[in-house]
Amino acid sequence: MSDGYRIERDSLGEVRVPENALYGAQTQRAVENFPISGQRFGRGFIQAMGLIKKGAALTNLELGYLDEDLAAAIAAAATEVAEGKWDGEFVLDIYQTGSGTSTNMNTNEVVAHRADQILGGDESRVHPNDHVNFGQSSNDTIPSAMHISARVAMERELVPALTYLRDALAAKADAFDHVIKSGRTHLMDATPVRLGQQFGGYAHQLTRGIERVRAASEGLAELALGGTAVGTGINTHPDFAAKTIARVVEDLGIDFREAENHFEAQAAKDAVVDAAGTLNTIAVSFFKIADDLRWLASGPTSGISEIRIPAIQPGSSIMPGKVNPVMSEAMMMVAARVMGNHTTVTIAGQRGNFELNVMMPVMADALLESLALLANMAKTFADRCVKGIEVNEERTRDLLEKNPSIATALNPYIGYDKAAEVAKEAARDGVSVREVVEKRDLIPSEKVNEALDVRKMTEPGLPEG
């Protein structure tokens, strides 16, 4: 057509499609039906869809359902999709049909039109449904793409990023192990800890987080492919799924396998909910670490100010010289978003009505956004904050000397009640516990240094005798 559109047809009739678009009628209908958010599926999900279509074409060639020319063209077109050449053709909103059928058809139409271009000639030979989608349904390809894209992001982006941040925190734990400081519980002074112990705790949170991510990733290794419409496998060869998945594994170098039970795989999205829950736990760790560092760096004159964070940008438009904990604040906002995405996935996961979940697109988008946010934040926080942290040793010593909770170490020598009196007097008079002990001659002078050795207070054990 001269007005920049062409006429395409589907089961509902004619549709005007942009003349140069690789997608067709069903995609165009969805474009018109769902002008909701402007949010589209990202690179990882499109890659997964492309790999599924490529693997399916080669499997259907092997099984005798596609001739060699068509299969080769479809596989070539699908490879281009997987590699990102046609991302601009994936025009659909996340908020669409809950099965993701529109996005599956978007993929089928792009691959079919591109395969026709590869084959050459004026005749359209490749059909989006009969050829590209052969042996598949949106109901098994979309959940498979969800698992593939999320598992790839976990293994290749999130785990390395968490490891990077963990190692940065562990390096600070080693560097700060000599620094004795006040511990704090309930935001109140507590017995001493080493700054290295604090950072070691943060590092270990991430070690545990990495273990949780790997376990959740393994839960995503099962793919729904082969279940077709409702899990029965109608209109697909019994070997189709295993052969196609093997090709995806070969392309990605990450293990996947056919679902043990296709009805569970399509009707329930528990593995995705579990993965989102794991990311929620990581977000909680991020929030705790970022908030602790923000408080420890507060000041410089009226806060705790035991550490100094890197000054990476001016902190105020009105107060000269102010430096704010901007990386901690960014990290806490990322955590909040991931927690919100977990709620979205949890609610969506409940809509596995009978044989199909009908909120898959938003589940996939929320999960993949959380993965990207956590991975990017971990690397950025390590580089822009953790690696540049310095300790204010003078401040830590000053606060520790005035910490009345040091009196806890006196319990084995003078008992809890007298130690409590010492702590109260030290706090009331603004003096150290040592000064009160020596003034009141509560323990022999030769025992004072032993009793109030703050380094020993950071280690388990009781005094001898």
* Closest listed residue to residue 157, CA positions, set 78, 201, 217: 217
CATH topology of domain 402-457: Ribonucleotide Reductase Protein R1; domain 1 (1.10.40)
Beta pairing, strands 5-10 & 13-18: antiparallel
Buried b / exposed e along 376-411 (16+ C-beta atoms within 10 A):
ebbbbbbebbbeebebbeebbeebbbbbbbbbbbbe
Per the model's pLDDT, the better-predicted residue between 227 and 404 turns out to be 227
Between 462 and 131, residue with greater pLDDT: 131
Q: Choosing from 186, 302, 317, 445, which is the catalytic residue?
A: 186
The correct CATH number of 21-134 out of 1.10.3720.10, 1.10.275.10, 1.10.287.3240, 1.50.10.10 is 1.10.275.10
Residue 131 pLDDT > 90: yes
* Residue-wise pLDDT tens digits, 295-324: 999 999 999 999 999 998 887 777 877 889
* Confidence grade of residue 379 (pLDDT, cut at 50, 70, 90): very high
The domain locations on the chain are 21-134, 140-227+265-393, 402-457
What mean pLDDT value characterizes the chain? 95
Can you give the pLDDT at residue 449?
Answer: 87
What pLDDT was estimated at residue 119?
96
Rounded mean pLDDT of 381-407?
Answer: 95
Report the percentage of the chain scoring pLDDT > 70: 99
Q: How far apart are CA 15 and CA 8, in angstroms?
A: 5
Catalytic residue among 37, 124, 178, 316: 316
Q: Are 54 and 66 in contact, with CB atoms under 8 Å apart? A: no
Is there a catalytic annotation at residue 432? no
Distance CA 68, CA 48 (A): 23
| CB proximity list for 453: less than 8 A, separation 6 or greater | 409
Intrachain domains 140-227+265-393 and 402-457 with the same fold: no
Band (pLDDT 50/70/90 cuts) for residue 359 is very high
Q: What's the rounded mean pLDDT across residues 251-272?
A: 98
Tell me the average pLDDT across 277-305: 97
Of the chain, the end-to-end C-alpha distance in Å amounts to 98
Tell me which of 244 and 442 has the higher pLDDT: 244
Q: Is the pLDDT of residue 57 over 70?
A: yes
Residue range 142-176, pLDDT digits in tens: 999 999 999 999 999 999 999 999 999 999 999 99
**Full-model pTM:** 0.95
Residue 32 DSSP code: H
Burial class (CB in 10 A: 0-12, 13-18, 19+), 338: buried
Q: What is the per-residue pLDDT for 323?
A: 86
Residue 399 has pLDDT above 70, yes or no: yes
1 has a pLDDT exceeding 70: no
Residue 77: the pLDDT is: 98
Burial 101-130 (b: 16+ CB within 10 A, else e): bbbbbbbbbbbbbbbbebbeeeeeebbbee
pLDDT at residue number 407: 86
Reference 96, options 343, 349, 359; nearest CA is 359
Residue 2: what pLDDT? 57
pLDDT at 445 (0 to 100): 84
DSSP 399-420: HHHT-GGGGGGGHHHHHHHHHH
Amino acid at 245: I
**Lowest mean pLDDT, pick from 109-113, 222-226, 237-241, 308-312:** 308-312
Class of the CATH domain delimited by 140-227+265-393 = mainly alpha
186 is catalytic: yes
pLDDT classification of 75: cutoffs 50, 70, 90? very high
The mean pLDDT value for 118-135 works out to: 94
Q: Within 34-89, where are the H helices?
A: 43-62, 68-83
Average pLDDT over residues 376-400: 97
Closest CA to 361 of 106, 75, 24: 106
The better pLDDT of the pair 462, 133 is held by: 133
